[in-house]
Amino acid sequence: MVVFYLEILCILLYGAASAAAAFGIMRGRRPAARAGKALYFCAVALHSAVIGIESTATDGTLLSGPNIVMLASWVLAVVCALGLAVTKRGIGFAAVAAPVAAVLIVVSQWMEILDPVSADNLAFYQWPLLVPHIVLVFVACACFAVSAAASAMLLYQRRLMAARSAKVLSLETPALDTLANIARMTALVGLLVFTGAMLIGFTHMVALYAAMARTHCLGTIGYLWPRVALSLLVSAVWSAYAVLSFLAPWAAGTRTRALISIVGFALMVALIAVSAG
């Protein structure tokens, strides 16, 4: 299971590297581009460590389906890393290669879980796997709550300013720019954490289905589909908020972004309510 969590961390690092690189390129922010480059190298190093651990555990890398996909993702990542090391213009390729490598790692994980001869399947659908999943969901919810609260305060202050109310002078709240920064940064952290939670949760669902299929169990996982649908919707809304806040702020106004944040938090609360029901 340690390797599984390292792979999840690797996926998140690739995603963060791609996002930072895209932000640096599209907005002309060199610090963000350098951060994306550093995150990408960290992801490649962790990716290499994961392959080394797996190879050591099996006395060599087995050229089976899941391992072939994992090696393909690693080769892609390493080639791009070499390009980054020798040229200053490779960050654009890293922004594209990073999510591709992350997707290939997920495919490799699910292929291994669905493999009937896999000896590790049991660990993927027993309850301990859900502990970090639940913790990450609540951490993401807390981040989204802070973002929504900051957005609501921002909307309230803007409304008072538009009405030229004297009450705005006595408000003990942060400035508009500070509220906007709090809203978008906590949203970004929450989205990253929630993505990790979804990866673990979806892996659990796939493993549960595979286990029932192998044992010819008549059980159903239909009760999970509302959670899956809401999870994807929450992810889509907060991803849209992140894109509009960091990559394309000109595409939507401050009010629109704030409303998206509040709607995203409402959907997150609905997801937790459905999951608890």
pLDDT at 112 over 80: no
71 in Cβ contact with 79 (< 8 Å)? no
Residues 217 and 257 in one domain: yes
Residues 180 and 245 in one domain: yes
Residues 276 and 198 in one domain: yes
Can you give the pTM of this predicted structure?
A: 0.77
Q: How confident is the model at residue 70 (pLDDT cuts 50, 70, 90)?
A: confident
Residues in the chain: 277
160 in Cβ contact with 171 (< 8 Å)? yes
pLDDT at 218 over 70: no
- Report which of 203, 210, 189, 72 is spatially closest to residue 140, judged by C-alpha positions: 189
Residues 271 and 228 in one domain: yes
Give the pair of three-digit tokens for residue 223: 């009760």
Residues 112 and 129 in one domain: no
Residues 107 and 10 in one domain: yes
Residues 104 and 138 in one domain: no
| Average per-residue pLDDT for the chain | 83
Number of domains, the chain = 2
pLDDT at 152 over 80: yes
Residues 188 and 92 in one domain: no
Residues 79 and 163 in one domain: no
Looking at 86, 104, 119, the residue that finishes a domain is 119
- Report which of 2, 37, 42, 1 is spatially closest to residue 18, judged by C-alpha positions: 37
Domain holding 56, by residue range, is 1-119
| Calpha distance 17→91 (Å, rounded) | 10
Across the range 226-232, mean pLDDT stands at 91
- Report which of 261, 266, 237 is spatially closest to residue 183, judged by C-alpha positions: 261
Residues 129 and 66 in one domain: no
146 in Cβ contact with 186 (< 8 Å)? yes
Residues 97 and 186 in one domain: no
